[in-house]
Amino acid sequence: MMKRFIAAILLAGACTMAFGQIERPKLVVGFVVDQMRWDYLYYYYDQYGEGGFKRLLREGFSCENTMINYVPTITAIGHSSIYTGSVPALTGIAGNDFMVNGKPTYCVADSTVKSVGSNSKEGLMSPRNLLATGIGDMLKVATDYKAKVFGVALKDRASILPAGHAANAAYWWDTSAGHFITSTYYMNQLPEWAKKFNKTIQVKPGTNVKGVPDGVTKTFQMAKAVLDNEHLGEDSVTDMLTISISSTDIIGHAYGTRGKENHDVYMRTDEELAKFLTYLDSKVGKGNYLFFLTADHGGMHNANVMKQHKIPADGYAAWNEIKPLNATFKEKYGIEKVALMANANRIYLNHAAIAKAGLQLDNVKREVADYLSRNPKVHMVVDYANAVNANLPQLIRERIVNGWNPDRSGDLFVVPKPHNVDGVVTPDYRGTSHGAWNPYDSHIPMVFMGWKVKHGQTSTPTRIVDIAPTVCEMLHIQMPNACIGDAVNEIVNPK
């Protein structure tokens, strides 16, 4: 009996030793550049310094053919999919905004929490609308909740969704306060270091920080403050820091993919990235951290510029169709509002009003689809519930299915013809947008660098949902609970 007892103790000790010998980096850093088209790696290549994007390509492994495998290609969805390895159908993050039970909902809105760090409504946010777990959650579980996980971004959704449910904190920018805040989902008051940091920022409340290059600097400053004051990567337990650069997207929307404004924000991002990587080298140790770069979506080149060079381009806005659509159905059937909302080419029909009018939902969907299809900019209007049978190339059909959450995505999805930006293109339109399946919106960078990563690249097709399982396999932890991606073999098993 005593021998069996001793043997059991020895076996338990051996298992502990075996688990203790699993190699992991001290820190994982996920870096998302909002609206960064894949080709920005090369368009600005000659102007980048040696220590930022060039270093990632020089030392890291680049997946050159990484695509987003759902529509719409939107910020909140991208950030959630990167870290969950999943798609809106399963994560429930169907857009920046969507409808739940007929009620408009912001992706990270949470009325049950309060702002921490300001008195505004900017802090009424949490990850509760996210139905899936993320890398950070799995890292917490794998380390018996000893790992520290933090998110930093100017946009709330770009900080909250990547950090996940169990994060120690997510910090985002409150313009009305002029500094970073969080919510009571994470804590009841800001740490003393965060209060001191906010005082050093010296930004006048109401100042536009998000839409200028200085927003990039502020984001990196906060990331460094978190790294230092929360002591990330300083012990034997792997920690995680998620960083998202929001200014690139805001500037892109306003000024497009070319020109001084876009150039300046990418030069600033490259410069700050180089300094941050150098800091990681000294603070955590070169080779001791795993770093990956990606984007939540791309963006189409400005339609007016394209047209000037005889390249077909225009804009289509589904939301612009709602008023005349509702007027037509009111006159014909007496329905006050047949469509409640259009967002990112998703059409939300008024089920209650349709039923009250004694009409069949399927018949109304067909009639609405026919109405919207008359627009010459529309390729096809797809009934989400029957999308698997849509007469579209399999790739597009799959992305529509992946993007449909029955409770949050609406009823119909409009597929515009190529080179139609999501919006109205006026003669003085300078900006851009995103949301489509097309490569200009769905082709994103994916570069891993650092711990156990060998230099190289591949053109083998990869997807945004492959990032999370790649990180998890490298860490030897379980992938998130809704993950549908695959680890990139060339990264996790380098030759």
Catalytically active residues, by annotation: 75
Q: Do 222 and 216 meet the contact criterion of CB atoms below 8 Å apart?
A: no
Return the structure tokens found at 495.
């030759």
Q: In terms of residues, how long is the chain? A: 495
Q: Three-state SS across the chain?
A: CHHHHHHHHHHHHHHHHHHHCCCCCCEEEEEEECCCCCCHHHHCHHHCCCCCHHHHHHHCEEECCEECCCCCCCHHHHHHHHHHCCCHHHHCCCCCEEEECCEEEECCECCCCCEECCCCHHHCECCCCCCCCCHHHHHHHHCCCCCCEEEEECCHHHHHHHHCCCCCEEEEEECCCCEEEEECCCCCCCCHHHHHHHHHHCCCCCCCCCCCCHHHHHHHHHHHHHHHHCCCCCCCCCEEEEEEECHHHHHHHHHCCCCHHHHHHHHHHHHHHHHHHHHHHHHHHCCCEEEEEECCCCCCCCHHHHHHCCCCCEEECHHHHHHHHHHHHHHHHCCCCCEEEEECCEEEECHHHHHHCCCCHHHHHHHHHHHHHCCCCEEEEEEHHHHHHCCCCHHHHHHHHHCCCCCCCCCEEEEECCCEEECCCCCCCCCCCCCCCCHHHHEECEEEEECCCCCEEECCCEEHHHHHHHHHHHHCCCCCCCCCCCCCHHHHCCC
Compute the half-sphere exposure of residue 92: CA atoms within 13 Å on the CB side of its CA: 14
Q: Do 230 and 168 meet the contact criterion of CB atoms below 8 Å apart?
A: yes
Q: In sequence order, which residues have a C-beta less than 8 Å from that of residue 436 and are 6 or more positions away?
A: 71, 72, 73, 300, 345, 416, 420, 422, 442
Distances in whole angstroms, Cα of residue 125 to Cα of each of 6, 186, 215, 359, 466: 52, 10, 21, 38, 27
